[in-house]
Amino acid sequence: MNKLDQLFEQFYNQALEDSIKAVGPVERKLTLKMTLLNLLGDFSNLEENMVLSEPHIIEKKDFGDYTRELLILPITDILEIKMYILTPNKEAQSYPSVLALHGHGYGVKEIVGLKENGEEDEGSEGIHQHFAVKLVKRGLKVFAPEVIGFGERMLTRDLEIGKQNSCEAMATNLLMEGKTLAGLRVWEARQLLNYMESRTDVKNIGMMGFSGGALVTAYTAALDTRVNATVLTGFTNTFKGSIMSMRHCIDNYVPGILNYAELPEWISLISPRALFIEAGINDPLFPNQYVKEAVTGIEEAYASRPEKFSYDMFEGTHEISGRKAYDWLIDQLS
C-alpha cells in the first residue's frame, strides 16, 4: 500500500467514523430513510405535471400458461414508461405481484424472454435468466419496466452512436443539477408501485432486481413499505468491497452516501419486511467475501424477525440463479 492508497483508506475510515451518531436504532433508521431521500435527489417537480391517462397497450401474446402484454404507461406530460406485464393464465381475482427490474444489458427484453431485436429467445437465457418468465410460470403477476437509460429509453445522442445505455450521460447531467440517476430510477419505481396498487388484480406486492436493478430495488424497498418482500441478486456487498474497489457504472454512485452508512445498513432499512439475498460465489463485480460481510450485518437487523431474512450463495458469477429465491418470493407473497 503506497501513500496515496493510505490517503484514500483514511478518507474511507473518516467517513464511517463521522457517520456514527449517538442515537437509538429507531431514530437512526428514520434519519437514514430521510437522508436517503435527500441524497438521491429531489424529483418532486415532476409531480407537478402528472397525468392520469390509461396505459396504451401495444401488443398482447398468449403463451398458454401465461399472457404477456407490452404497454406504454404515461407518468407525466413528457415522461412515459415502457413495460411488459406477464399474467398467469389461471382464473383468479387477484395475484401476488412483483415489480421486476433488469440490470445492465439490452434492456427489459432480457428478462421477458426476448432477443434484442424483439424475436422470441429460445436459446441461452443469459445472466438475467428470463427471470420475469420464471416468476410468472410460478403463479406471480409480473410488472417488468424498461429502466430509464436502457433499451428504447435512451437519449438520442447515445442511440445515434450505438451506445449500450445512457447511464453516463444521464447521471452526469443529473449530478450537475444536484440529483442522481439512482434517484430518478427509484422515483419511477415508486410511480409504478402506485400503478400496481391501483389495479384490482394485484395483491401483496414484492420486488426483485438484478445488479443495477437490485440497487434500485434495494433503495425503493427501503423507502416504500408497500414492498412486502424483496429479492436482491448480484448487488449486496459493501461499498468498499465493490464500487469503491473497481470500475463500475456511474449509476451506482450516490454522492455523500458513505458519510452516513455503509451499504449493508442501507439495505437493512428494508427490515423487518421480508428480504432475500442471492449472490454468485464467483461474482467478480461484487466479491463474495464482502457479500458474507454484508449478510452478517443485515442478519443483525433481522435479529428479532430472523424468519424474514434468507440468502443463497450459489455456484455462479454475476447472474441470476433463482434456485431458492423464486420459491421464497412465492411463499412470502402468497
For every residue of 269-295, DSSP letters joined together read GGTTSEEEEEEETT-SSS-HHHHHHHH
* Residue 195 pLDDT: 97
pTM: 0.96
Residue 91 has pLDDT above 90, yes or no: no
- Total domain count, the chain: 1
Q: What is the pLDDT of residues 277-295, one digit of tens each?
A: 999 999 999 999 999 999 9
* Residue 123 pLDDT: 87
Classify the phi-psi angles of 75: left when phi > 0, otherwise alpha if psi is within -120 to 50, otherwise beta.
alpha
CA distance 34 to 225: 14
* Residue 79 pLDDT: 97
Which of the four pLDDT bands, split at 50, 70 and 90, describes residue 66? Answer: very high
Tell me the average pLDDT across 185-211: 97
In sequence order, what are the beta bridge partners of 187?
Answer: none
CATH number at residue 305: 3.40.50.1820
Q: What is the pLDDT of residues 234-262, one digit of tens each?
A: 999 999 999 999 999 999 999 999 999 99
β-pairing, 95-101 vs 80-88, is: unpaired
Cα 113 to Cα 109, 121, 138, 141: the distances in Å are 6, 5, 15, 15
Domain containing 182 equals: 3-333
Q: What is the pLDDT of residues 153-191, one digit of tens each?
A: 999 999 999 999 999 999 999 999 999 999 999 999 999
* Residue 23 pLDDT: 72
Tell me the average pLDDT across 117-143: 96
**Joined grid coordinates for residue 252:** 451506482
Which of the four pLDDT bands, split at 50, 70 and 90, describes residue 20? Answer: low
Tell me the average pLDDT across 107-129: 95
Q: What is the pLDDT of residues 21-54, one digit of tens each?
A: 657 888 999 999 999 999 999 999 999 999 978 8
